[in-house]
Structure 1
């Protein structure tokens, strides 16, 4: 129930709707009881056993309220029968019954109507919280977690919480109220018979609760398996070319069907256990009803109770009325246990602590004036250090290129400078200020990022470029595209800047996508530019256009360039050659070519290639 309580936190903004729902449910429950009680005098009229009261009753206080109400109704019916005949009294009861049933269902609808605001509002807020948390989580979290599993938590788990927990809120609000009001009415009719009922109901409730003990564990396993096969789907959709190219369809299909088979086995058990709840509770309910019929009937037939035959029939009607709420509450117990598993998975994400947060005294850094300095930094993703006691200075207006074999730590440096990860040791300073005491937003506002993989969105060209600057004008977007050598090909698209580029920009070539990424960075106009192998995946013609765009963009800016193709960084102010996280040499292109160390060998190998 712990996670159920946590989910209820999302109900706080909608407490006014919850209070209205409770009010309408109270009114519904009162009219629900009246809809049963109203038939007691009807039976009395039909069988001529109705108590006759010829004198108007006098109200003598709350202690005699029940007797006063009964005598008032009997006096009214006696007057009807005496003056207009039994049919008139029966017609009066029928009209009253229709009115009572109308208000009963009106208040039931009103309760559901206001609950809709609570239910849909809570679902929206849970989804919003999950999405905002996803945006806030560090990149490290996504390298350790399956994307498909996270998608499952945001979709199927939220849906399960809505179906199992949030939809149970109505039952939790209505059924206990109904049970209390019906039980009070039953006590008024016959305290002796109601005490007999109290013996059986707890026993039935205990037996029903035994059925659902393992439901939460099974539901949790089912939701985890859902995350697994959603991950397969996500990976498959992103890797179809490789799967087909390596004829791996059958192997992937086998892995997927193994996952769905496990899910099927778990869900069979869950559904079977859920399915047992309703018939089992109904059987127990009928057993209790038969016991009440036997005991109550013996009281009426033995003249051991003041309960009249029509009141006994009305009592049985009230008892039937209480069975459905009791069954609903037991079903709610199953639903909450099932939904609790999904709620647990949701809160695993929401309660994940992000280690990369703004310090309490973090400052805004709105300008870049002198240099970026990496001082004795060490960093590891897992156990082995990628960088150890690493030092580097990037002066304002200079271009520093990082080169080296894969795994030498080039991209790690870019991730640390942008504070996508935090260093384990040492410090990174910008104008002498540790970036850990600078707000993440202001730090990243100073930087533009162009990566090897052009990350674009299923949106228009305009909106993809416009991501670089909020509320950018059409003229600013167009000027950025011209600097990035993208304007000409954009104008050739079917709808120009309003053309949708498809999922991940798949309607464009690699060079076109990269130039849009550059235009986005140009529009941001940051003083520091970080280029992570921005031309490595391009053909020669596209590389020329992109490289020209990059050179325009880097003018009068500080740039950190991670280079795969060494021909693109010959004009850098400082080329830093890395090997296993260490600097083996650094200098200009001309200086390094005079050396026989790593850089010259890399250039010769690429030239030979």
Structure 2
């Protein structure tokens, strides 16, 4: 019941606590100690004022009024002399400085820990996200969340840290105010309630604007990604400026919300000090003309009152800034929940290598009511080369995604070495899968790092690298470069031809020491001459790996051990190239159309 109460009424505290645990209480303790030293240091002004007021004939001691401080010093035997009071004041403010230093260092460490643990937590969850969920997701929203929103979350945390600290300081000063004069504590509470009443309407506006800002930022990221990805088409068709206007619309929407938040912040800053001075002036009038209090008591009490009220106003302003980032917190929390809910189901059995075969038994797959794979049975033996052919939409790519362990079947079973994929540790299986598509993956890094994926340059890895580029027929090209394997390939391999990109991709998979090699339209984007060279590279690997090829150009599958003809999510024929051509009229027509 207590936990439910905390989650309901302190949901922001609960959100940060799940990452920080005991660290958040250390922040509170250090802030309290810092505030306590400041309060004690300020309290020393009271005996100093009283000593100064009552001092006669050069005497350093004098009678002082009863209060918690004088009673404490009397009980511990400290004499009320000017020297003693000054020494204690210096000591308290020195300790305040010390605790401020420790608190500041701890704040920096806690902020670092929070953002690092948050990023790592999301990245770990994202790496285990099911591929099925990912392909239906908004990539722009994900990118915005993993970059901009995470940074905004750090700002939100820092704001909340200040809110906690300001709250602790208010409590400390209230304690001192109660000890000095209970009336001042009551005035502090009344002042806080006044501020809360005034600021309440600002909070609602700020939260609404914050949520809208997150939505607009997600839209902006999506349109920017599409602008960059489709720049060539937009430029070639003269539509790039029209599309840029759409992006401009997103920018204007974002800045409109930012301007609204800035205006709210300006209102907060403008009214804060006038209200503060009004309350302070009211307290002075109350103390002088109603309570007839001593001047020294009024001054020290006002110090506590002013400090407390300043922290209240700072807290209110900081809370308003924090609310401007509530949309980010909600977005990150929602994304984290989605990652948990769509976590890839993984088995326990470790996969070492392919010993026997890959086997589909009555496998079906569908997105909702749309059935893509319809009861397929297929066996792929170890080191066999199998080609999947058929018109677009026949289910080839989905078949490959299932074979690679990216998608789980809706019905039937997929066996690897006689073990169901459901029971296998997919990560260990996919480490042994090589994947090459027409959209080659080239990182903005050196050739060595592109092939080895940043493996350390040990003698063993360098030997494996050399072996991989030789088998991919890339060694001559690399050897002719001025920087050899350290040559940077540029963004998306801009310094490479299409054939060279494919060879880098092949070398990468060979370096990994895979035993299953998937080629998804790997040569479809190449010219005929380059395609022939890459095809020769692939043929040279035949018998060394289990190779699965998707191809529209049938010339690339002539040498396959088995050609599987697909249509409407079903296998309608299979055999080697010549067998299938003789047994399937549809495949024969496909061959004739390509003039093979």
- Same fold at TM > 0.5: yes
Does residue 10 of structure 1 match 2:16?
no
CA distance in 2, matches of 1:540, 1:55: 104
The 1:341–1:408 alpha-carbon spacing in structure 2 relative to 1, beyond 3 Å, is same
The 1:253–1:50 alpha-carbon spacing in structure 2 relative to 1, beyond 3 Å, is farther
Does residue 34 of structure 1 match 2:45?
no
The 1:384–1:577 alpha-carbon spacing in structure 2 relative to 1, beyond 3 Å, is same
The 1:482–1:55 alpha-carbon spacing in structure 2 relative to 1, beyond 3 Å, is closer
User: Please, which of 220, 224, 232 is the counterpart of residue 233 of structure 1?
Assistant: 224
Q: Which residue of 2 aligns with 1:24?
A: 30
Asked if structure 1 preserves the Cα contact closer than 8 Å seen for 2:360 and 2:413, the reply is yes
Shift of 1:42: 4.0
Alignment of 1:289-438 (within 5 A): 289-301=280-292, 307-352=293-338, 353-359=341-347, 362-438=348-424
Alignment of 1:174-573 (within 5 A): 174-301=165-292, 307-352=293-338, 353-359=341-347, 362-467=348-453, 473-573=461-561
User: Please, which of 61, 71, 84 is the counterpart of residue 67 of structure 1?
Assistant: 71
CA distance in 2, matches of 1:521, 1:545: 18
CA distance in 2, matches of 1:367, 1:214: 59
The 1:412–1:192 alpha-carbon spacing in structure 2 relative to 1, beyond 3 Å, is closer
Range with bigger deviation, 504-513 or 526-535: 526-535
Asked if structure 2 preserves the Cα contact closer than 8 Å seen for 1:399 and 1:574, the reply is yes
Paired residue secondary structure (2:389)? strand
Q: Given the two structures, how large is their TM-score scaled by the length of structure 1?
A: 0.88
CA distance in 2, matches of 1:50, 1:583: 110
User: Please, which of 579, 582, 591 is the counterpart of residue 594 of structure 1?
Assistant: 582
Which structure 2 segments of 5+ residues have no match?
1-9
Q: Which residue of 1 aligns with 2:156?
A: 164
Paired residue secondary structure (2:212)? helix
Asked if structure 2 preserves the Cα contact closer than 8 Å seen for 1:215 and 1:338, the reply is yes
1:551-605 deviations in whole A, cap 9, x for unaligned? 1223233221111211111111211111221222222211233346221211221
CA distance in 2, matches of 1:503, 1:283: 56
Q: Which residue of 1 aligns with 2:5?
A: none
Paired residue secondary structure (1:507)? coil
Does residue 133 of structure 1 match 2:125?
yes
The 1:554–1:382 alpha-carbon spacing in structure 2 relative to 1, beyond 3 Å, is farther
Shift of 1:325: 1.4
The 1:193–1:70 alpha-carbon spacing in structure 2 relative to 1, beyond 3 Å, is farther
Does residue 145 of structure 1 match 2:137?
yes
Shift of 1:214: 3.4
Q: Which residue of 2 aligns with 1:76?
A: 80
Asked if structure 1 preserves the Cα contact closer than 8 Å seen for 2:432 and 2:512, the reply is no
Shift of 1:267: 2.1
Shift of 1:20: 4.8
CA distance in 1, matches of 2:14, 2:354: 48
1:101-147 deviations in whole A, cap 9, x for unaligned? 44433322321111111111111111222222222222333322232
Range with bigger deviation, 101-110 or 153-162: 101-110
Shift of 1:404: 1.1
CA distance in 1, matches of 2:287, 2:122: 55
Paired residue secondary structure (1:449)? strand
How many residues are treated as equivalent by the alignment? 581
Range with bigger deviation, 276-285 or 406-415: 276-285
Asked if structure 1 preserves the Cα contact closer than 8 Å seen for 2:55 and 2:62, the reply is no
Q: What is the Cα-based RMSD across aligned positions, in Å? A: 2.9
CA distance in 2, matches of 1:460, 1:379: 40
1:168-222 deviations in whole A, cap 9, x for unaligned? 21440x3233222322222232224433443443233233233202322321220
Paired residue secondary structure (2:300)? helix
Which structure 1 segments of 5+ residues have no match?
78-88, 302-306
Shift of 1:72: 8.8
Paired residue secondary structure (2:594)? helix
Paired residue secondary structure (2:204)? coil
CA distance in 2, matches of 1:119, 1:30: 24
CA distance in 1, matches of 2:576, 2:262: 69
Q: Which residue of 1 aligns with 2:6?
A: none
CA distance in 1, matches of 2:187, 2:386: 87
Asked if structure 2 preserves the Cα contact closer than 8 Å seen for 1:21 and 1:112, the reply is no
CA distance in 2, matches of 1:378, 1:483: 37
Shift of 1:381: 3.2
CA distance in 2, matches of 1:384, 1:299: 81
Asked if structure 2 preserves the Cα contact closer than 8 Å seen for 1:397 and 1:556, the reply is yes
Shift of 1:328: 2.5
CA distance in 2, matches of 1:290, 1:56: 30
Q: Given the two structures, how large is their TM-score scaled by the length of structure 2?
A: 0.89
CA distance in 1, matches of 2:92, 2:487: 61
Asked if structure 2 preserves the Cα contact closer than 8 Å seen for 1:115 and 1:170, the reply is no
CA distance in 2, matches of 1:258, 1:582: 46
Q: Which residue of 1 aligns with 2:593?
A: 605
Asked if structure 2 preserves the Cα contact closer than 8 Å seen for 1:377 and 1:388, the reply is yes
CA distance in 2, matches of 1:490, 1:35: 72
